[in-house]
Amino acid sequence: MKHLFTIILFGLSLTLAFAQVSKPVTRPIAKITGAASLPTNIVLTLKPYQKTWVYIGSYYGKGKTLIDSVFLDENSKGIFKPAKKYTPGIYFVVSPKMVILFEFLMDDKQHFSISGDTLNRETPVITGSLENDLFKNYSQYSVKQGKLLSDLGDEFKKAATKVDSAKLRVEIIKENKALEAYRDSLTKKHPNTLLSVLLNAMKQPDYPPIPVINGKADSLYPYRFVKDHFWDDVEFNDDRLLRTPFFENKLDNYFKTLVVNDPDSIFNEVNYILLYARTGKEIFPYLLTKFTNKYINPEYMGQDKVFIKIFENYYAKGDTTYLNTASKKTIIERAYSMMANQLGNPAPALDLTDTAGNTISLYGLQDKFTFVVFWDPTCGHCKAELPRIDSIYKARWKGLGLKLYSVNVSIDANTTSELKKFVKEKKLDPDWIYASQSKEARAAEQQAGLPNFRQLYDVYKTPTLYLLDDKKRIIAKQLSIEQFNDIISAKLRGK
């Protein structure tokens, strides 16, 4: 696959591999005097490390990032005292060799001490932090309950009779409910704590039984219930959600399992989340970046419409301050390229020159289907795919009234000879149209300030494939050959 440009480099660092940290932030070792006036003052004692740098990091979406560093003195002590507060969330202490030692909660107060020992990594002592007291109690209970559930699960797998299985199933359900009840009690008793935010973000509703209304089962009710309550008690503008390992996974699961897989439905969900998150300093640009990257190169055909709507509703209205110059240029160019080739729209005109020097107009072809292939004779992936396309063309498509219009995207005139050589070696069907843009036509287009076919057809990689109907409307694009074949079959059946 040959890419004509690289996308998409935002000015945001979504993850940071520990090995990439070349130099820690250097600060003088702080004195405890006057610590109360500092926005953050976290005293770390970490044995047996002495006279070395250690770090704290946090989760950030699906990744992890280093946040700060401190130099430990001869007593294994150092003090984190940044100029402004850390964003609250789940943090961890990292050794000089970039090994995560243990986790702790960074609340909003950020005046506490941590005492840890690498010989006993599981039980650091944190004093002066109610949040970490709650976190410790919750962790101890959830570990205990988790072991119990794991043991019950093992027994369930080994159960010899249906009666034993039924008893164990009831016991597992009971213990799961006990864990949920414990979590609910914590959030009700401490509603404004960071731990409550984390527990609410983790929570997912259970599917209720199917109700029977007027003698008819409402089979969609469980789906509607779960979807309606999936985000109960979660505030999308809360930056703390980013500093957890589970929020983004929950978000992905929501779109995968509960959102209808069509562009309009997807954008309605995306738009709701982004509008809600807009006042979040960190989470809004993160989510905007996430959804942009997801739908600028979508997994399913037609979902690039979601990216266009994101562009129209956010980037085109000024939400570009989060982008560096290169990213801003890429976003704008891709958006306008995609607007020109949406499914159901007439394909942009192509009037290109074939290998004999004749101008071949796309709209001059009178065929039931037209298959447009943008490729480069020097592209290895193209060399593998074109013979496959030719095989199905000879075996089926040609007899169904389909015309192949191939476009050499290279601006290097020397590729014409390579093209002819490749066609001859692979014995591609002579009915193919092999077209390219002449140097003169390209210069005239540029002089007139007109968009070129690369922009109009969003050709950012090769090969790029389109299927058109007899009116040259776009039926499908960027699918596998087998998927294109299925669509042709469906169209012929009148579906």
Same-domain status, 302 and 418 = no
Q: How confident is the model at residue 294 (pLDDT cuts 50, 70, 90)?
A: very high
Instruction: Please check whether residue 379 lies inside any domain of the structure.
Output: yes
pLDDT of 74-84, one tens digit each?
A: 999 999 999 99
Instruction: Please check whether residue 457 lies inside any domain of the structure.
Output: yes
**Cβ neighbours of residue 28 closer than 8 Å, sequence gap 6 or more:** none
pLDDT surpasses 80 at 1: no
Q: How confident is the model at residue 434 (pLDDT cuts 50, 70, 90)?
A: very high
**Cβ neighbours of residue 184 closer than 8 Å, sequence gap 6 or more:** none
Say which amino acid occupies 242. L
Q: What is the CATH number of the domain that holds 392?
A: 3.40.30.10
Please tell me the predicted confidence (pLDDT) of residue 366: 93
Please tell me the predicted confidence (pLDDT) of residue 37: 66
Same-domain status, 374 and 483 = yes
Between 21 and 77, whose confidence is greater? 77
Same-domain status, 115 and 138 = no
pLDDT surpasses 70 at 482: yes
Q: How many domains does the chain have?
A: 4
Same-domain status, 361 and 388 = yes
Same-domain status, 123 and 141 = no
Same-domain status, 362 and 488 = yes
Instruction: Please check whether residue 84 lies inside any domain of the structure.
Output: yes
Same-domain status, 357 and 391 = yes
Same-domain status, 387 and 482 = yes
Name which of 342, 258, 340 is nearest 298 in CA terms. Answer: 342
Range of the domain at 311: 231-324
Q: How confident is the model at residue 36 (pLDDT cuts 50, 70, 90)?
A: low
Instruction: Please check whether residue 313 lies inside any domain of the structure.
Output: yes
Same-domain status, 143 and 117 = no
Between 444 and 16, whose confidence is greater? 444
Instruction: Please check whether residue 169 lies inside any domain of the structure.
Output: yes
Q: How confident is the model at residue 22 (pLDDT cuts 50, 70, 90)?
A: very low
pLDDT surpasses 50 at 28: no
**CA–CA distance, 154 with 187 (Å, rounded to integer):** 31
Same-domain status, 282 and 412 = no
Q: What is the pTM of this model?
A: 0.82
Average pLDDT over residues 340-349: 93
Same-domain status, 69 and 167 = no
pLDDT of 185-223, one tens digit each?
A: 999 999 889 999 999 999 889 899 999 888 899 999 999
Same-domain status, 123 and 149 = no
96: its two tokens: 């000089």
pLDDT of 246-260, one tens digit each?
A: 999 999 999 999 999
pLDDT surpasses 90 at 419: no
